[in-house]
Structure 1
């Protein structure tokens, strides 16, 4: 279909949270801005610590580096527009910009899933094959795997956009969501969306369940390996090394699996509740992940403390010199 078929729609309107009373729109924009500020600041801190502290140049922290970069990009893709809607009453987004946002939403979501797969791989090799870990997962190896994840994740979202962009959009231009995604856009097309929704569903299942299957296998193997350790202290130490990753992985996958399973077993959500749940599992994990790193990961915590002490010492020196 040619681009002329959708010429009647020049822009889309994002509804944000349906039913939100106008008097709470200022509060909503303030909360979303705070979420974005904390997400950007926290993950930028992780990137800064990695760049300035060579002791963090280990496979596990290379994975965390990629996850932080992905979280910053995802939040920057989705939050500024919905913040401007409530802050400046600007909920419109151009036709092309909506598809660009749709691409990055699905692309970065795919990258996130693959990075969590690498996180589980790191812990699986470290605990189940500790003697072979240094040779199997070098820094160069994890860099290659990370780059591969960013490249491979590009294929399916790009295909979704290529197939959805030429559809005829000649009716409503209102997207009942806080950002543009495949379902929100294609449901507005003046055509049968079944040929487009099934490939999108299969893509979502592969991206979600493929890495999740390995993650489930890896942590089952980790638990079995840890239970074979006779020393209780050794068990606790082994489990503590993967607790951070397990928390992060749970925050990403459990809400998504709940939404997918609930919709398939007949549990219905109102549009209000569905959007709130999606926003919670999309935006809360990127915000709290950096705090989990710094509180649970010993090397990250010590690096942050060294940077903090260094700042205090430099300020004292500058005060004395003045």
Structure 2
């Protein structure tokens, strides 16, 4: 394939960010994004270290949490620093190759997250619906293999999207109407006879990576709810619900805002550019920052482990 530049300025793209934001708010906005990144990085590294170091937490469910934390950390690292650079250092330019690399990582990591949520739903489905088979069907090795597939399957699909987009000529503008490079913002600046084909192909692949896992996730949690409602013991229902609550929260944070944006666009409800960018950032960057809190406060074993370690620290002799 070859990439044709119709004008030298397209060698670099310009990240627009929030077009309606006054310069006097640049410092607070960059500080907010820095805080979000710091929260995400600290929380994700903490979860990874806790599960790796605490043998009692090295169970299938928590191994999935580790993969989710790694995904959150990687996604934030590829997106937030450039946003901070724009508003803190007035550095809005991004090279052509860097923009395409960022686009690949944004969509790849989003797809990986979707498949990891599928693995997490499968874990809870088997644990609740066929508990007697759980020790056989769900082991650390099996979960590791499934998570490996979750990382591997989206890679060739997203590479196809990137290579297809590279066949376009970028001759309209070098303005990326977003806070990071994504496929829609990037290909909107493309031209050529195959532009529509590139956009439709990317949409189909994106829907495959999002809707296929979502279909199984919905099936699994509906099945879980049915099983819970059939339980005669209220304590059993409460315990089962508590084991599924973190997964449901994480899944809702990932899917609900995306579905809202897609449905609103489909029915013709239009957003201003600032609102659209804000919504995309909310469902892209807020879940990674909140996920570690959900793991810690909504997961019984992690919460008890933290409380035990805090108690040991508080009762340890001062000289040790």
Counterpart position of 2:210? 208
Q: Deviations over 1:106-158 (max 9, x none)?
A: 00000000000111111100000000000001110000000111011101111
12 and 5 in structure 1: CA distance in 2 versus 1, 3 angstrom threshold: closer
Q: Distance in 2 between matches of 1:47 and 1:315?
A: 28
5 and 86 in structure 1: CA distance in 2 versus 1, 3 angstrom threshold: closer
Q: Are residue 70 (structure 1) and residue 71 (structure 2) matched? A: yes
Counterpart position of 2:158? 157
SS at match of 2:169: coil
Q: Which moved more, 1:200-209 or 1:116-125?
A: 200-209
Kept in 1: contact 2:4–2:170 (CA 8 A)? no
Match of 2:256 among 238, 254, 257: 254
Counterpart position of 1:2? 2
Q: Distance in 2 between matches of 1:97 and 1:306?
A: 45
Q: Deviations over 1:199-253 (max 9, x none)?
A: 1111121111111111111011111111111111111111111011101101100
Counterpart position of 2:304? 302
Q: Once the 2 structures are TM-superposed, how far is the Cα of residue 314 of structure 1 from its aligned partner? A: 6.0
Kept in 1: contact 2:5–2:11 (CA 8 A)? no
Q: Distance in 2 between matches of 1:113 and 1:32?
A: 24
Counterpart position of 2:287? 285
SS at match of 2:232: coil
Q: Distance in 1 between matches of 2:45 and 2:6?
A: 40
Aligned positions of 1:174-185 closer than 5 A: 174-185=175-186
Q: Are residue 11 (structure 1) and residue 5 (structure 2) matched? A: no
Q: Are residue 227 (structure 1) and residue 229 (structure 2) matched? A: yes
SS at match of 1:131: helix
Question: How many corresponding residue pairs?
Answer: 318
Kept in 2: contact 1:63–1:115 (CA 8 A)? yes
Q: Which moved more, 1:183-192 or 1:89-98?
A: 183-192
CA RMSD of aligned residues (A): 1.4
Q: Distance in 1 between matches of 2:304 and 2:160?
A: 44
Q: Deviations over 1:4-29 (max 9, x none)?
A: 44563110000111210000010100
Q: Once the 2 structures are TM-superposed, how far is the Cα of residue 312 of structure 1 from its aligned partner? A: 4.5
TM-score under structure 2 normalisation? 0.96
Q: Deviations over 1:82-101 (max 9, x none)?
A: 10100000010011000000
Which consecutive residues of structure 1, in runs of 5 or more, have no partner in the other structure?
A: none
Kept in 2: contact 1:28–1:86 (CA 8 A)? yes
TM-score under structure 1 normalisation? 0.95
Q: Once the 2 structures are TM-superposed, how far is the Cα of residue 168 of structure 1 from its aligned partner? A: 1.1
Kept in 1: contact 2:14–2:175 (CA 8 A)? yes
Q: Deviations over 1:248-275 (max 9, x none)?
A: 1011000101111111111111111110
Q: Distance in 1 between matches of 2:314 and 2:213?
A: 43
Q: Deviations over 1:37-79 (max 9, x none)?
A: 0000011110010111001111100110100000000000100
